[in-house]
Amino acid sequence: MNKEEEVSLKTRAKQTVRKTGSRGKYGLFRLLFSRFFLFIFLLLAQFSLFFIIFVKLYSNKNASLIYFAATFAAVIVMVNVINSDQNPSFTLVWVIPILIFPVFGLVMFVYIKTQLGGKRVEKWHHRAEENSSNILKQEERIKKELWEFSPQVSLLSKYVYDFAHYPIYRNTQCEYFDSGEAVFPCMLEELEKAEKYIYLEFFIVQNGVMWGSILEILKKKAAMGVDVRLIYDGTNALLKLPLGYKEKLESYGIKTRIFLPMVPLFTTYQNNRDHRKILVVDGKVGFTGGINLADEYINAIEIHGYWKDSAILLRGDAVKSLTVMFLQMWDTINHEKTNYTPYRFDQRVSIKEASGFVMPYADCPLDEERIGENIYMTILDHARNYVHIMTPYLIIDEAMVRNLCFTAKKGVEVSILMPHVPDKKYAFYVAKTYYKTLLRSGVKIYEYKPGFVHSKIFVADDNKATVGSVNLDYRSLYLHFECGVYLYRCDCIPSIEADFQKAIKESIQVTEESLKELDFFERFFGKLLRMLAPLL
């Protein structure tokens, strides 16, 4: 994108902001009467209800008996929690409130852990996974070739195929994009080529230049008979889009679904969100990465300085996995079973000059596997020279901290690029509580001075990388639906490493001395919040 196009894009974005009323002298008025304010109000009402129950019970004449019973129940619950297979960090989050405030803590525990809505979602999603479990076949030829190159990567691919049913492919071209404004024109170009179907699954869709440009193409293609489907998350529907927007899109012929609409006070599945970013065109071309469909992602507007993001384009056989991921989610929402026969996943796509091995993967919070985290861990475990990481957040458990430190102590260069301008200050304060431990183990930490890093990237030894939607935080690693692409010996890997090197030249290196400059509030607030890290 040249300078003239960039200026034009930002001008259009500002005009759109004025038209949609996102800013202006009535901003506060709109905020007070917005669904965002209503959402916060209802959440506060929800916690107030629990507190009233707590107070009423303790003011009862049988308060001592109630307290004793609640304490006894709390001990029983804690014994079960501590002996469960749950991550110890999640266990600690529950131990503190239940033992200090038995009644209040138990009410909260029962409310969140019963997850009645979540159980239904789990049932629907498992049914969708079972329906697609035999669709994507792992080619034996590719398995043998991969084993000859790297038994370690071969074992990783076997794990992902056995437990998530996503094969590793050859016959796939990959192109890496180091920003939203770089990938955006390519997305528009590929959308214009659609003949059969366009599938979009994004965490955020928001009115503006980016979404407006895409929407115009989608409307045109839907009118031409192309199967156009869109999934966006329920939090996005509540906070960023007008009421009735789904119905408006469907009036254009765009089949639209909202993943788990948010209903404060009654919703029991707030944590499990669809954080994926997927765009598939005709099963031939697929995009994923960190980029959502909103103007800050292409730097048409500035909210946290320059928005540093990334995306990857796939052409060829590996697009099949992205297509299946989308259809699984579509079936989960619709309670349907897709007929996969018309998609002809058994046929190869003819691709010239494809290199390396490509493995798209999805991560589901409703099973016992942590595909995204295990891929990150494996890259760290087997790195010989370096592991370079970009992530917007650093809120991790003891196992990941230990792995990062151990990898650095072995003499491997481990470098993490973080934002210097955060989007969530509380998350930034918590991230800084990990810095000292990591630095003392030899991990290098940089903060991107121009603004906010939203990329989610691991790249190692010039031959392995992963690009996707998985942040280094509890939500991405344990609670969200996520996706990514693992790359081995692919031509685009040097571009990923070059992007990292370019970014750290514009960054500030964090040292133990610089940490002393943090004020008392940042240090104390960060340490306080770290106790609640799994909930952030």
The DSSP secondary structure of 244-303, one letter per residue, reads: THHHHHHHTT-EEEEES---TTT-S-SS--B--EEEEETTTEEEEES--BSGGGGTSS-S
pTM tops 0.75, yes or no:
yes
Given this model, what pLDDT does residue 46 score? 54
d(CA 355, CA 175): 11
Given this model, what pLDDT does residue 263 score? 65
Is-contact 448 457, C-beta < 8 A?
no
Is-contact 78 98, C-beta < 8 A?
yes
Given this model, what pLDDT does residue 117 score? 59
Given this model, what pLDDT does residue 461 score? 98
Is-contact 148 370, C-beta < 8 A?
no
d(CA 133, CA 341): 14
- Please give the angle made by the CA atoms of 247, 480 and 315, to the nearest 5 degrees: 75
CATH 3.50.50.60 fits 371-535, yes or no: no
**Nearest residue to 109 via CA among 134, 146, 138, 80:** 80
**Nearest residue to 331 via CA among 168, 478, 135:** 135
**Nearest residue to 106 via CA among 121, 119, 94:** 94
Pairing of strands 413-419, 386-390: parallel
CATH class held by domain 137-148+165-356: alpha beta
- Would residue 299 be called left, alpha or beta, if left means φ above 0 and alpha means ψ between -120 and 50 degrees? left
Given this model, what pLDDT does residue 30 score? 44
Given this model, what pLDDT does residue 213 score? 97
**Nearest residue to 460 via CA among 403, 380, 373, 377:** 380
Domain boundaries, the chain: 30-114, 137-148+165-356, 371-535
Residue ranges, the chain, pLDDT below 70: 1-47, 49-51, 53-118, 263-270, 535-536
| H helical segments located in 314-397 | 319-334, 371-382
Is-contact 219 248, C-beta < 8 A?
no
- Amino acid 320 reads K
467: Cβ contacts below 8 Å, ≥ 6 apart: 176, 288, 289, 310, 311, 312, 455, 456, 457, 484, 485, 487, 496
pLDDT tens digit sequence for 310-331 = 999 999 999 999 999 999 999 9
pLDDT tens digit sequence for 399-426 = 999 999 999 999 999 999 999 999 989 8
Given this model, what pLDDT does residue 82 score? 58
- Please give the angle made by the CA atoms of 502, 490 and 140, to the nearest 5 degrees: 155
Same fold, 137-148+165-356 and 371-535: yes
d(CA 158, CA 374): 13
